[in-house]
Structure 1
Amino acid sequence: MSRTRVHNFSISLDGFATGEPQSAEAPFGHAGQRLHTWMMATRFWDPSGSDGVDHAFAQRHSDGIGAEIMGAHKFGPPGWQDDPDWTGWWGENPPFHTPVFVLTHRPRSSIELDGGTTFHFLDASPDHALAVAREAAGDLDVRIGGGPSMLRDFLAADLIDHLHLVVVPIVLGRGVRLWDGLEGIESGFEVESVSSPSGVTHLTFTRVRS
């Protein structure tokens, strides 16, 4: 069976994966891009970037992925369901290049864009959404793309096999926190830690299956 994987998911020292309030002008609220500057400095993001530890982790994002699941707030700002012209933050050629399943209580017709990305909209539980995404992915893995509320639901349902978190040395103070309600979740994983000269810490959680 394919694995469910999370890559390059950044959180602050106090556990927030995004700031507030989210809007079309500020996708990550008051956090801006501070959670992601480590990745934007890599060759994975910019051909002129670095090729060190951060690049080595970042580039694993797309290897062996056949589908993605994302939450409504990753696809768009509050109210995007009321805008029939909204096709996501990424323009005509999004970086996914696979089927992407957007979880929303207000589904709409699928959107096919350049580069092999098609957005499908589901009102579904985590386990049902994963079954649909696995069928689309075939023998490849399914990436769980976030945001934090959706990822928290998948972790609570014990549906994550590989979780790559990046702890960024900033304190946001408010926003959406990843770990709320997940006390003791680490006991089901093998956890490895790698520190980077950029100041971030890469945490890799690998599910322990009996």
Structure 2
Amino acid sequence: MPRLRVHNVSISLDGYAAGTDQGVDDPLGVGGEQLHEWFFATAYGKEMIGESGGTTGIDNRHLIEGDAGIGATIMGRNMFGPVRGEWPDHSWSGWWGPNPPYHHDVFVMTHHVRPSLPMEGGTTFHFVNETPDAVLKRAFEATGGADVRLGGGASTVRQFLLAGLVDDMHLAIAPVLLGAGERLYDDLGTLPGYELDRVEAGEGATHVHFTKIG
């Protein structure tokens, strides 16, 4: 059975997945870039930005595993870009340039839909105003039997956790304190319906794995 998976969602020690005041100059909010320092220290991360070298241990393995077997991605509008409210136009096409790293269908959850946006390399962004169940159904239909990856932001992950739709969740805890921003664990209590599977200490982050019970 195809699964909905969360991979490599970076959070701070105090549980924030992004800082405050997200904008063009601060895609992850003020101070939020610290959450991904472990990512860009790996060989996989450096390859993505056209550099060589980097670590090849536990952190790198998690990044590779996060892309394996994925046929579609779901994300929130805040992960797609900084524009809020009605789209003034359709010029914003994401943070990733003309050839985003997904290479499959990406479903962007938003209250303000717009036409689908095909990009180079096989990525097409679909803007949907539907329930998590309905969006997940569409994503599974697009994968051809592969798994679906759930990206950020924090509020999007919370919606799917509260609905019990996430099968596996991997969080990378960065050794920083943000103090404010978008907190992942708000309103989740003790994550009913999920159990802690394992914890691994990487070179730059601590990796925490949860699985759905039953």
TM-score, normalised to structure 2, is: 0.93
Per-residue deviation, 1:206: 1.7
2:161 is aligned to 155
Report the 3-state secondary structure (helix = DSSP H, G, I; strand = E; otherwise coil) of the residue aligned with 2:44. Answer: coil
Alignment of 1:1-210 (within 5 A): 1-46=1-46, 47-79=52-84, 81-185=87-191, 188-198=194-204, 200-209=205-214
Aligned residues: 208
Q: Is the 8 A contact 1:134 1:141 kept in 2?
A: yes
Separation of aligned partners in 2, 1:75 and 1:197: 28
* Cα distance per residue 1:118-141 (max 9 Å; x no partner): 000100110110001000012100
Which residue of structure 1 aligns with residue 49 of structure 2? none
Distance in structure 1 (CA, Å) of the matches to 2:134 and 2:57: 38
Q: Which residue identity does 2:201 align to in structure 1?
A: S
Displacement after TM superposition at 1:59 (Å): 1.0
Task: Give, as a single letter, the amino acid of the residue that structure 2 aligns with 1:139.
Answer: G
| Conserved? CA contact 1:9–1:165, under 8 Å | yes
The normalised TM-score by structure 1 is: 0.95
Contact 1:69/1:102 (8 A) holds in 2: yes
SS of the residue corresponding to residue 209 of structure 2 reads: strand
The offset of 1:188, in angstroms, is 2.1
Do the aligned residues in 2 keep the contact of 1:94 with 1:115 (CA within 8 Å)? yes
Deviation (angstroms), 1:163: 0.5
> Unpaired runs of 5+ in structure 1?
none
Question: Given the superposition, is the C-alpha separation of residues 33 and 173 from structure 1 closer, same or farther in structure 2, using an over 3 Å criterion?
Answer: same
Other structure's SS at 1:35 match:
helix
Whether the aligned pair in 2 keeps the contact of 1:11 and 1:18 (CA below 8 Å) is yes
Code of the residue aligned with 2:137 in structure 1: it is: A
Aligned residues: CA RMSD: 1.3
Moved over 6 A (4+): none
SS at match of 2:173: strand
- 1:187, distance to aligned residue in structure 2 (A): 5.3
Deviation at 1:186, TM superposition (A): 5.7
The question of whether the paired residues in 1 share the 8 Å contact of 2:164 and 2:193 is answered with no
Gaps of 5+ in 2: 47-51
Deviations 1:2-29 (A, max 9, x none): 1001111010011000001011111111
Rounded to whole Å, the distance in 2 between the matches of 1:152 and 1:158 is: 10
Task: Please state how far the C-alpha of 1:83 moved relative to its aligned partner.
Answer: 3.2
Q: Which amino acid aligns with 2:64?
A: Q
Tell me the CA shift for residue 173 of structure 1: 0.5
Amino acid at match of 1:61: G
